[in-house]
Every structure is written in C-alpha cells, then in structure tokens.
Amino acid sequence: MIHPTPSPRSPRRATVKKSARGPRPETQTPTTPRPSTRTSTPSITALREEAAHCRACPLYKNATQTVFGAGRATARIVFVGEQPGDREDLAGKPFVGPAGQLLDRALERAGVDRAATYVTNAVKHFKFEPRGKRRIHKKPNEQEVSICSHQWLDQELHAIEPELIVALGATAARAVFGKATAIGKNRGHIISKPTLGTDIAADVLVTVHPSYLLRVPDEDRAAAFEQFVDDLKLARKYAPADS
C-alpha cells in the first residue's frame, strides 16, 4: 500500500520488506538437531504425583487408582508392560501380581536385578470388565494406548533416559515404537537405536509379556519360560551385577 504521507518509520518498513525477499528465518531448516529439552523434564516423583490425578482418558473412572511406574529413577533398563492388572490396581504398584512374580523369577534366572531397573506400563489404569465378583482384564484400545503413552510413558523415558527399553508384549511394543510391531520376528535380539514413538535414543529388546506364559499349555510352559529367560539374558550387559 502507498501512503500519501510517508511516516518517519517508512525506511524501517522498507528494510523489512527488502529482507522479506530473502529466505524467511522460520522456514530455514536447521542442519543440527533441535537442542534437547530434557533438562526441564519433571522428575519421576513429580510425574507420579501428577499422574495420580490423570483424567486424560475414561479409564480412570472404574480403576481404583493410577498405577505409575516404579524402580530406580536412574535405571539403565526400563521394562514396559501393557497395563496394571487386578492386583496392581489394588496395590498401586506395577508387576506385583502373578505375571509380576513370573517376571521376577525370569529376571533372577537371567541375572538381572529388578531393583536396579524401572518397571512401568503403557497404560496406567486397569481396564477390565466385571464378571460376577471378578474383574477380567480387557485389552486397552489404540486411542487409550496412544493417549497414555504421550501423556506419561514418554515423560518417564525422558526423565530416566535408559540405555535399554524392554517391551513386554504387543501393546508395550506398540507404545514404544509408536506403531504395531510383531513380537515373533523381533524378539531374541537387541534392536540398536531404532526409531521410536519418542525422541530419545535407546536400544530396544522385544519379548512376550509374562502373562502370556500363564496361558501357555502346561506341556509347553517350561520351554516358553526358558525362551523368555533367554530373551532377558540379552539385557544383562546393561545392568552389571554390582548395579
């Protein structure tokens, strides 16, 4: 627009107009990664306190409480499961029920000290359907996994910055990778620094959820357990015996 009477600021406007012909600063893509913001990430304690009041998805309405992760805040290994079960929902702690006890046995056999690790779930509230007096586990859907992963799991991983993430089962793998990931063809080896659903850099080990072993036919259970132990042995180098 041409002004009848140029204002005293006209030269400055002309300068802005001239610079606008060149590349706009905001459209220039940096050649180096954006600086990390992890220094401002809340601590695990602060995240746990905040998550206790989570209302990000409807699952909180029927659950007893939020079941946040537990373990060493500086752990080199983070185990990610699916969701808390009935025992975990009542206790407020992850992996304390039958599947958790099986995980403890397998970790001991594999030479990994659970106390030196951090265990959590992709979803922090127990999803179930009532059946008489029992509460039967119900698999969380895609939206519930996505919401909870972005709301809490991502922040847990940033706070801890583990060297290895162990995805226990398909739902955990979906949360960690940000997409559906087959267990069968990805288990049994360490995946080095893959692209994840979060921006942290960590190796990943994919294996079955210990609850799967509870459903295996009796005649196959021992072999399935040994295979699970073999998977967990791959994590041993990330957690020295003196950790």
Q: Where are the domains of the chain?
A: 41-238
Non-local CB neighbours of 50 within 8 Å, separated by 6+ positions: 42
Burial of 27 (C-beta count, 10 Å sphere; 0-12/13-18/19+): exposed
Pairing of strands 164-168, 190-191: unpaired
d(CA 238, CA 111): 11
Q: Which residues partner with 130 through β-bridges?
A: 135
What pLDDT, on the 0 to 100 scale, is given for residue 19? 40
Long-range contact set of residues 213-221: C-beta below 8 Å, sequence gap at least 24: 213/102, 214/98, 214/99, 214/102
Q: What is the pLDDT of residue 48?
A: 97
> How confident is the chain (243 residues) per 10-residue block, as mean pLDDT?
44 42 40 42 94 96 97 97 98 97 98 96 97 94 96 96 98 96 96 92 97 96 98 91 54
Helix axes 98-110, 218-233, angle to 10 degrees: 50
Provide the CA 25 distance to its chain's centre, in angstroms.
Answer: 35
What are the residues facing 166 on neighbouring strands? 79, 205
pLDDT at 198: 86
CB burial class (10 A; 0-12, 13-18, 19+) of residue 86?
Answer: middle
The pLDDT of residue 10: 41
Q: Whole-angstrom Cα distance, residue 177 to residue 141?
A: 16
How far apart CA 112 and CA 135 sit, in angstroms, is 32
Contact 69, 157 (CB under 8 A): no
What CATH number does domain 41-238 carry, 3.40.50.720, 1.20.1260.10, 3.40.50.2300, 3.40.470.10?
Answer: 3.40.470.10
Tell me the C-alpha distance between 124 and 82, whole Å.
9
